[in-house]
Amino acid sequence: MRPREEVPSGRRGGRGRRGVVRNAPLRTHWLLLTVLVLTLAGTLLIQGYTQHMFGVGDDAAGSGQGPADRVPAAVAHGGPVIDTAVTPTRTARPKPHTIALTFDDGPDPRWTPRILAVLRRHHVHATFFVVGTEVAAHPALARQILADGNQIGIHTFTHANLGRIPAWQRSLELREAQLALAGATGRTSSLLRPPYSSVNDALSDRDWDAVEAAGQHGYLTVLTTLDSEDWQRPGVGAIVAHATPHGSAGQILLMHDGGGDRAQTVAALDRLLPRLTARGYRFATVSDAVGAARVVRPAGAGDHRLGLALIGTLDASGWVLRVLGWLLLAAGGLAVLRAAAVVVAARRHARRRGRAWGPPVVEPVSVIVPAFNESAGIEAAVRSLLASDHPVEVIVVDDGSTDGTADLVESLRLPYVRVIRQANAGKPAALNTGVAAASFELLVMVDGDTVFEPDAVRALVQPFADPRVGAVSGNAKVVNRRGLLGRWQHIEYVVGFNLDRRLFDLGQCMPTVPGAVGAFRRGALLRVGGVSDETLAEDTDLTMALCRDGWRVVYEQDAVAWTEAPASLGALWRQRYRWCYGTLQAMWKHRRAVAATGQAGKLGRRGLLYLLLFQVLLPLVAPVVDVFAVYGLVFLDPVRIIGLWLGFLLLQAVISAYAFRLDGERMGPLWTLPLQQFLYRQLMYLVVIQSVATALAGTRLRWQRMERYGSLTVPPGPAGPLPSGPLPAGPAPYVPPSHPPNGPALYVPPAGPAPRPGLAGSRPDEARGAAGTGDVTYPWGGRTPGLYGGDDHAPRSYGPGPGGGV
């Protein structure tokens, strides 16, 4: 938990220690984040479309399928080069004893250079039908193809089957392929070989539609007459046999320089070329073989620039995807590492439960309740404290409330309760006022919207039997658990906050004692200068200061307090935004602990590193997991993606169930865990992103008070009268001595002021809101009656009596 208070309007601006600090709301980072999200979405769409929507497959996969009623007979039985831009459609055949050697699916960085080397060795030119995405990935190879005197044509942008895609996508495939070629080589080509095409009489009606559409864009469609079938990798001998023509008719021979392992193609080509040359065949490009006019021309300046932009975009999107892949590994590794760490630590911490810290601590405790407009819950909070089974005095510091908080507390006329009024100065100032007025050495600090279990104070102060302990963190639980938002926060408190605190306790690096339920040595507080107002997370700042001063801070899970959680998304956002931003401030303020020794070094190298890795970096990179999940569902194998997500969810469920069992919670709310992963987790990621952006921009936030909902109700019964006699004055100001030679761990603060007469042994029944003990009962499980606003707000382990759980 973090504080919930606001500073007066007069303190919202001003000058920091290093100059003017901007207080205006940060808006630029949301614009940048929107641009980043849109850019990332566009990048992934480009990568998904170009790399996963289509792919190189067997050339026979799409040929000869479907009716062919609309294919003209002159085309079905004509030449392999088809021009539909004229009426009637014309076809052309290669000249006799002429072979137009063609290669599809490249350029490939491994196989295309080897094929070019074979062609150069045998002084042969060929035509390469290139895939646009491969040209963009390997532009130098496209230039080398032309530099060697070969011809180039397009094979679409992504190797899509033109007969099976809509007209808009067909135009996109042709246009983008042409731009990629123009950007890489400065040339355009009017030669097109549709993927999955073969011979003329294999054209279907859908294929013919694509051929006609290509003609309208000025393309000559080039089919084949002879297929080497090298795409099947049948062996070098079989490829040579398939590629050897019978008779003297001219041929357009199909081979491949990309799309897979082409070692057999290279070997077969080196054997085929001299054999066919010896038989009187000559090799030519497609245009030379059929006598076509110039088909490769210089690209216009506009197309060349657009092509360069396309290649740059594809290259950048590839790098972005690779970076996202690294971040995905980092996020997965951090998540698994954190899961393993908190589970192992929780098991070890649970074994220590019930261990005595030393002789029982029975001295009275001063409870400080800073209050600003807390009238909705202050009565329940104060009565729960007075119902403690440990002697307490309660000091309510009214920090300039405007809703009658102080008047309400005074009207209750409860014993051992003091009300101190001050002008609004913020929660740190209110806490320091309470510390100065406290009658005892042990202090408990509690928010005004929090109620304590009857044994919470006693459990909270027992670790102070160890003189090295300077502060104790209690176990804060959510009381308003109705609805999805309440259940999600309940899960977060049990699984996130409490598991982390167990780990921090074992590592002796506790960074935060929550404002809702924490205990401190008064001497330790004064020794570090009291509660600072330099950050928005004064509880974290104070805890880190105590650790750096040599004090141990521990976690006591049996000290249970119930607090209201935000009941709206807006309130939740404001609360967590301030928490996260304040934590970043505290981490930066205490960053030098990383290089310290002793207890301070443990905070720096364990606590701060953990916060940096798992509460800052992990939320920043974790959205990559969700981005890739969406990307995988659209472009990859959805079954595999769903399986991975279910595995991640199962891991979360196991950890959550274990944490609930350790905290004695019923498992019912865990049914909302999958929804929490979809919605709540993303909200928390955005909180961290905004907080980091705010911190980097140097913007200063103001306090924002959380709305109270009145979920906590007071016990029934009349209020008791105030005890006779004046309340004692607070202790004299404490002056901390210099640090002893052996370090602060051996330092024992001076004893607190003498307890008020009668308080240590008194358990006034009227403090519990009843006239006598007969009017108050405490059911099994330690529940304080009436404090939870009805059974629906209490955990199942609390109820009206044995066997009557909620």
State the catalytic residues.
Answer: 104, 256
Tell me if 573 sits within 8 A of 689, measured CB to CB.
Answer: no
- Could you tell me the two tokens for 657? 């169930």
Distance, in Å, from the CA atom of 290 to the CA atom of 440, rounded to the nearest integer, reads 104
**409 strand-pairing partners:** none
Tell me if 790 sits within 8 A of 710, measured CB to CB.
Answer: no
Residue 105 vs residues 80, 159, 160, 616, 758: alpha-carbon distances, Å: 19, 8, 11, 45, 93
For 413, residues 6+ apart whose C-beta sits below 8 A from its C-beta are: 719, 720, 721, 722
Tell me if 752 sits within 8 A of 442, measured CB to CB.
Answer: yes
Nearest to 338 by CA among 571, 621, 4: 621
- Could you tell me the two tokens for 129? 């039908």
Residue 244 burial class via C-beta count within 10 angstroms: exposed 0-12, middle 13-18, buried 19 and up: middle
Distance, in Å, from the CA atom of 545 to the CA atom of 589, rounded to the nearest integer, reads 10
Distance, in Å, from the CA atom of 89 to the CA atom of 72, rounded to the nearest integer, reads 9
Neighbours of 385 (CB within 10 A): 29
258-288 in b/e form (b: 16+ CB < 10 A) is bbeebebbbbbbbebbeebeeeebebbbbbb
Which residue has tokens 């190298």? 605
Nearest to 82 by CA among 221, 258, 241, 195: 221
For 459, residues 6+ apart whose C-beta sits below 8 A from its C-beta are: 474, 556, 558, 559, 560
The CA-based diameter of the chain, rounded to the nearest angstrom, is 125
Element (H, E) at 386: helix 378-386
Neighbours of 745 (CB within 10 A): 15
For 629, residues 6+ apart whose C-beta sits below 8 A from its C-beta are: 641, 644, 645
